[in-house]
Structure 1
Amino acid sequence: MLNRQDDGMPFLLQYENVAWYEDGEVRILDRRVFPTEKRHVVCKDYHEVIKAIQDMVTQSAGPFTAVGMGMALAAYQCKDMPEKKQIEFLKTASEELGNARPTTANRYSQITTRAYELGKEAIESGKDPINRIFEDTIDSMNRRYSTMQKVGDYLVDMMPNNSGVLTQCYGETIIGAIIRAARRTDKDFKIFDAETRPFMQGARLTSSCFQEAGFDTTVVTDNMTNFILERGDIDFYTSAADSITMDGYIANKIGTKQIAILANRVGVPYFVTGIPDLDKKSKDAIKIEYRDPEQCLEFAGIRTSMKGVKSIYPAFDITSPELIGAIVTDKGAFSPYSLNDYLKKGKVEEFY
């Protein structure tokens, strides 16, 4: 029986609902239609996993699991090839899955490169590479969930009971970690979720997790955040980060910075959660992904602007350290100006 760390997690964070390989298929819960529908996208080729990631079937930390399961699928696809061809096939899959999206390619590639090495070793020793890669992906999920639980524990410890908390986008694992930490410490929060256009992750995903867990949950449209901040509803603003550079800059879903500016203006602290990217020494290492601007011109499949109207869609923005109160990690909370202190807190654990 597999060891799992998803006990007490919301529906969205149960392992089978993130991404799951079985019998030559990867099933990924379609977060684009949740919670209106609970359906899975079924991938029978690892290229379909890449497309699912690029099409936002899964996002936040979900692709970390999807690329690992995609590597198990790639091993299945090439299982009848000669040994050398199997290894070449896995190598190509590792590179392509690892670069499914540019801003987080360094994190994806850690997972796919390890899966390739394990698969190659299994093939060369006459063992099953599919199961070895699958088990490694589960191990990776377990590490992420247990590591992010430490982050969630530190964050919840910093927040007084009955605080008003504003979120941005969908922080995936950290949301479940906050819920488990709050239950363990008997804390309650009033949660305000910015809707996060154009994919509405805050309105659909974050709010669903907190509501399922029994928190007082309110969705606010993206242009209401200043109103609730000035009205005094919010004690803390928090978000995860797709990238945390060692000079204290963070990249997260577009709109994160403007909320940080507004929070800073009224004295509401902004706490970022995540693990620093040790390989990204400065903000110059962040590559902003630009997505199809047509996605900003429609809602639920219905076009909202006249034909011929243009848009832009940068997927992320970069928030500078002066707007960040603390970066909360698995080793405690740090000033964004002193992230090198993170390295002084003992061995850096493998996270992905």
Structure 2
Amino acid sequence: MLREDHDLAFMLRYENVAWYENGKVKILDRRVYPTEVKFVICNTHVEVAHAIADMVTQSAGPYTAAGMGMALAAYECKNMGKEDMWKYLEKAAYTLAHARPTTVNRMSQVTRGCLRAAKTAIEEDGKVDEEIFEHTIDSLNRRYSTMEKVAEYLVDMFPHKGNVMTQCFGETIVGMMLRVTKKRNKEIKLFVPETRPYLQGARLTASVAYDQGFDTTVITDNMPAYTMVTKKIDLFTSAADAICMDGHVVNKIGTYQIAIVAKYHGIPYFVTGIPDAEYETISEVTIEERNPNLVLEARGKKNTMEGVKGYYPSFDITPPSLVSGVVTDRGIFVPYDLHRYFEDETGEFY
């Protein structure tokens, strides 16, 4: 099987993100990685949806989990008649796509692709779970190869021996930008804000970067401004959970404030990803708010007095005025002209 995850860190290998096999889906528990390497085993697609909602997997991990979850759903209904099977899969697609509200559009792309694969298998009396699994691997290969093209344009912006600041965990683009950087023999140092409350930067981005052989420094979330000055940061980059056609960027909470500080210090901010044609304006995006108790604790240990309140919007919104460029597989676009990305036909790659 040809795979595009070669030379990437442990947690970016397909089977270490989410994997369907023998009527189960295993998902690497990113809530505890790297201090523990533990997999959550899901016996139903509903359990996969719960794992996505509970942040067992994050960043682009839910897209892989959703595809594998659809294969599991097909296994669950394998003894049904064709009509009942199709209804079951449609319901499963809705459940998985709506596991988290802010990424419904992209997750729906995943499940739509799985339904197309299922329809072909049903019509040809094939094994539907295997067909969806193969489709999911193919879509992973497309996504990884697409993000490698994005990485080529992003790495063009990295100065040799430059200092790069990231935010949260950009999953595929982090691995691909580092693979491309190494291929070009460029040297960079990464400065990684920890990204409370799940610490995706400290635990995930830093782990991938270190795994792939890069000089990596973790900073707390209140250090970016001072670090930009003292460590002479050359560039700030992040992925995005949504890139609206009006240029607004939705990403992990904290991105907005780092973008403000970068603008103040004259440091370019490049966001990576494919613009979301479904989101014409930012008003169409639902910002997920998670359990506020999570900000009152750190890795399960409570830090505050009883009665103190928390507030936890999972994402924030960065306006286009703070975005130097949107880096795509077709080049770098100004955030005010994203419709130009779609001048040529493009397909879904999830």
TM-score bin (small chain): over 0.9
Give the aligned partner of residue 111 of structure 1. 110
1:159 Cα deviation (Å)?
A: 1.2
Structure 1 runs not aligned, ≥5 long: none
Matched AA of 2:237: T
The reply on whether 1:292 has 2:291 as its aligned counterpart is yes
1:351 Cα deviation (Å)?
A: 1.8
Secondary structure at 1:103 match in 2? helix
Give the aligned partner of residue 350 of structure 1. 348
Give the aligned partner of residue 168 of structure 2. 169
Give the aligned partner of residue 266 of structure 1. 265
Matched AA of 1:41: V
Give the aligned partner of residue 88 of structure 1. 87
Cα distance in structure 1, aligned partners of 2:137 and 2:107: 15
8 Å contact from structure 1 (residues 153, 178) kept in 2: yes
Give the aligned partner of residue 314 of structure 1. 313
8 Å contact from structure 1 (residues 143, 350) kept in 2: no
Matched AA of 2:9: P
1:36 Cα deviation (Å)?
A: 0.2
1:149 Cα deviation (Å)?
A: 0.2
Secondary structure at 1:85 match in 2? helix
Cα displacement string for residues 16-46 of structure 1 (whole angstroms, at most 9, x for unaligned residues): 0011000000011010101001110000011
Runs (4+) off by over 6 Å? none
Give the aligned partner of residue 249 of structure 1. 248
Secondary structure at 1:336 match in 2? coil
Cα distance in structure 1, aligned partners of 2:35 and 2:107: 29
8 Å contact from structure 2 (residues 253, 316) kept in 1: yes
1:232 Cα deviation (Å)?
A: 4.5
Cα displacement string for residues 195-250 of structure 1 (whole angstroms, at most 9, x for unaligned residues): 00000000000001111112111000000111111325211000000000111111
Give the aligned partner of residue 97 of structure 1. 96
Quote the sequence identity (%).
Answer: 53
Cα distance in structure 2, aligned partners of 1:146 and 1:285: 29
Give the aligned partner of residue 75 of structure 1. 74
Give the aligned partner of residue 200 of structure 1. 199
Give the aligned partner of residue 333 of structure 1. 332
8 Å contact from structure 1 (residues 18, 65) kept in 2: yes
Cα distance in structure 2, aligned partners of 1:164 and 1:268: 11
Q: State the TM-score, normalizing by the size of structure 2.
A: 0.98
Cα distance in structure 2, aligned partners of 1:25 and 1:233: 48
Structure 2 runs not aligned, ≥5 long: none
Cα distance in structure 2, aligned partners of 1:253 and 1:66: 20
The reply on whether 1:13 has 2:12 as its aligned counterpart is yes
The reply on whether 1:24 has 2:23 as its aligned counterpart is yes
Matched AA of 1:156: V
Cα distance in structure 1, aligned partners of 2:124 and 2:180: 43
Cα distance in structure 2, aligned partners of 1:3 and 1:43: 26
Cα distance in structure 2, aligned partners of 1:71 and 1:268: 42
Give the aligned partner of residue 130 of structure 2. 131
Cα displacement string for residues 65-113 of structure 1 (whole angstroms, at most 9, x for unaligned residues): 1000000000001112232221111111011111111111001111112
Secondary structure at 1:206 match in 2? helix
1:143 Cα deviation (Å)?
A: 0.6
Cα distance in structure 2, aligned partners of 1:39 and 1:181: 29
Cα distance in structure 1, aligned partners of 2:105 and 2:113: 13
8 Å contact from structure 2 (residues 235, 267) kept in 1: yes
8 Å contact from structure 2 (residues 109, 348) kept in 1: no
Give the aligned partner of residue 218 of structure 1. 217
Secondary structure at 1:165 match in 2? strand
Q: State the TM-score, normalizing by the size of structure 1.
A: 0.97
Matched AA of 1:220: I
Matched AA of 1:176: G
1:179 Cα deviation (Å)?
A: 1.2
Q: Pairwise CA RMSD of aligned residues?
A: 1.0
1:126 Cα deviation (Å)?
A: 1.5
Secondary structure at 2:71 match in 1? helix
Cα distance in structure 2, aligned partners of 1:229 and 1:6: 32
Secondary structure at 1:223 match in 2? coil
Give the aligned partner of residue 237 of structure 1. 236
Cα distance in structure 1, aligned partners of 2:222 and 2:114: 42
1:124 Cα deviation (Å)?
A: 3.4
Matched AA of 1:212: D
